[in-house]
Structure 1
Amino acid sequence: MCTVTVVPLIGPAPQGDRLPAGPGGESRCVRLACNRDESRTRPAALPPVIRRYGARRAIMPIDPVSDGTWIAVSDAGLAATLLNVNVPKGHFDPAGRGVLSRGTLIPRLMPCATLSDAERAGTAIDPRQYPPFRLVLIDDREIAHLYSDGTRLRLERQPLGDRPHLFTSSGLGDAVVEGPRCELFDRVFTPGGDGRSQQDAFHRHSWPDRRHVSVCMERQEARTVSHTVIEIEPQRVTLIYVPDAPDRVPPLPPNALVRSGAEG
């Protein structure tokens, strides 16, 4: 259960930035934000760490249940986040549910050097070994999402463009929350606005009379337990982690990695 937004940001290159991304010298940043919603009985996640995967290093908070994660970014400039998929009854047999934790999926992709490499690794996954999921993969130019209904995989890829993207899920049923959260998304992300501020406001939003379907959600058995922001810039990647709902506590100190090839 999560709500994920991906926002491309283009602006003047910061002073001293040696690797401007655009032909006009502008700096391109891609910002991914994720609210993680979990059962109140699930053990709390561990703060972000840097782990090595072959030639790559990656930043990720740790799910102690799987020793994996639901979100990560590597020094290759590749970010991934995971959403559970709650398919309608009759579309998936829980008795045949895979026994492997979805938290182990993202670490399998962190050795990859490119988005294409990650797609190949992702499509090699046997979907029958895992409960249904959606993996969102981004670099600084494109976005891909790998969808599993527990029996088959479907891969889609497209340019990031200059518009924000939304993915969301809920244990109440994905269809229950998609409508109100998409409506809020369209209202918050207005053309010409400040993408960072809009994204922050969206992920902190809660309807007092509809907390159960809110982006920053709360109900008797579950609530938003963390908020993570990943920024992919020309020279570095950064992960900022809030170990609770984003409207409750401040973030921990950020973790950053120099992008491979940006040293010197």
Structure 2
Amino acid sequence: MCTVTFLPLGDKVLLTSNRDEKVIRKRAILPSIARYGETQILFPKDAQAGGTWIGVSEKGTAMVLLNGGFIKHEPAAAYRRSRGLIFLDILSQTSAFAAFKKINLIGIEPFTLIIWENASLHECRWSGEEKYIREMDTTQPHIWSSVTLYAPDIIQKREHWFRNWLIRYPQPSVTDIRNFHLFGGEGDCENDICMNRDNTMATVSVTSIECESSQAIMLYEDLINQEQNEERLAFVQQYPVA
């Protein structure tokens, strides 16, 4: 939920997410295809709250969640619904982007959604009071870091690491970007791309969604239990990638 990259790779795009979480949190359920509402969705399931932080639907939409909107916030005592379940509510709709614009988020903790849909990429933020939407250039790579875990100067430093990595890997493979998510940084275990803060908060998994025109491939690696998983979801029709 806390570090996300987007890569356009010719006839496909790749969204990769590091989930930074309390290590005592229940182990996530490995990715599988499930019907949510009227839509088939491929996603790993949060065993504690029942939602997810990354997923792709049979309609060809891929999404990733980051905690926080623009700034680090003080969590409320309770919220109306978990962000992970809101994620599924949005992804299960015919258009996730339209669903984000329409959904009532009052009483929901701040978050950021990265939405890949119909060859468009949107950064959708909920501040806790207002929605903010930015259309991203789909021809360029992008990186996001959660504002709840990383200070602005660290976020800038991580963007610098990513730019330098792109210079070394101008035509990256899926393996290349996953290695960046595992080993990127400068030896600062608290703020590296794969982070660990006193074995209490750490990167617990790395998930990639490789979207082609007719299917998505999800690669999931549980870093705590050293388990890997690969699942595929066929789209109900051909969807544009570029």
Report TM bin, short chain.
0.7 to 0.9
Q: Which segment drifts farther, 98-107 or 206-215?
A: 206-215
Question: Is the contact between residue 215 and residue 233 of structure 2 (CA under 8 Å) also seen in structure 1?
Answer: yes
What CA distance in whole angstroms lies between the structure 1 residues aligned with 2:76 and 2:227?
Answer: 41
In the alignment, which residue of structure 1 is the partner of 2:223? 244
- The code of the aligned residue for 2:100 comes to G
% identity of equivalent residues: 28
Cα deviation, residue 196, structure 1: 2.9
What CA distance in whole angstroms lies between the structure 2 residues aligned with 1:103 and 1:93?
Answer: 18
Off by >6 Å, runs of 4+ in structure 1: none
What CA distance in whole angstroms lies between the structure 2 residues aligned with 1:93 and 1:242?
Answer: 30
Question: Is the contact between residue 209 and residue 217 of structure 2 (CA under 8 Å) also seen in structure 1?
Answer: yes
Q: Match of 2:33, SS?
A: strand
- The code of the aligned residue for 1:4 comes to V
What CA distance in whole angstroms lies between the structure 2 residues aligned with 1:79 and 1:201?
Answer: 21
In the alignment, which residue of structure 1 is the partner of 2:103? 125
Matches within 5 A, 1:1-264: 1-10=1-10, 28-85=11-68, 88=71, 94-95=75-76, 98-113=79-94, 117-139=95-117, 141-161=119-139, 163-169=140-146, 171-190=148-167, 192-207=170-185, 209-220=187-198, 221-244=200-223, 249=226, 251-252=228-229, 254-262=230-238
- TM-score, normalised relative to structure 2: 0.87
Question: Is the contact between residue 8 and residue 29 of structure 1 (CA under 8 Å) also seen in structure 2?
Answer: yes
What CA distance in whole angstroms lies between the structure 2 residues aligned with 1:179 and 1:33?
Answer: 19
Deviations 1:57-92 (A, max 9, x none): 110000122211001001111001100016547xx5
Q: Which segment drifts farther, 55-64 or 201-210?
A: 201-210
- The code of the aligned residue for 2:231 comes to N
Q: Match of 1:212, SS?
A: coil
The structure-2 alpha-carbon separation of the partners of 1:194 and 1:127, relative to structure 1 and needing over 3 Å to count, comes to same
Q: Which segment drifts farther, 75-84 or 101-110?
A: 101-110
What CA distance in whole angstroms lies between the structure 1 residues aligned with 2:142 and 2:226?
Answer: 26
The structure-2 alpha-carbon separation of the partners of 1:56 and 1:95, relative to structure 1 and needing over 3 Å to count, comes to closer
Q: Match of 1:128, SS?
A: coil
What CA distance in whole angstroms lies between the structure 2 residues aligned with 1:95 and 1:234?
Answer: 41
What CA distance in whole angstroms lies between the structure 2 residues aligned with 1:136 and 1:86?
Answer: 12
Q: Which runs of 5+ in 2 are unaligned?
A: none
Question: Is the contact between residue 85 and residue 174 of structure 1 (CA under 8 Å) also seen in structure 2?
Answer: no
Deviations 1:75-128 (A, max 9, x none): 111001100016547xx5644863421111221123333xxx212211223333
What CA distance in whole angstroms lies between the structure 2 residues aligned with 1:217 and 1:57?
Answer: 32
What CA distance in whole angstroms lies between the structure 2 residues aligned with 1:118 and 1:232?
Answer: 16
Q: Match of 1:251, SS?
A: strand
What CA distance in whole angstroms lies between the structure 2 residues aligned with 1:95 and 1:261?
Answer: 42
Provide the aligned C-alpha RMSD in A: 2.3
Name which one, 1 or 2, has greater alpha-carbon Rg. 1
Cα deviation, residue 193, structure 1: 2.8
The structure-2 alpha-carbon separation of the partners of 1:249 and 1:208, relative to structure 1 and needing over 3 Å to count, comes to farther
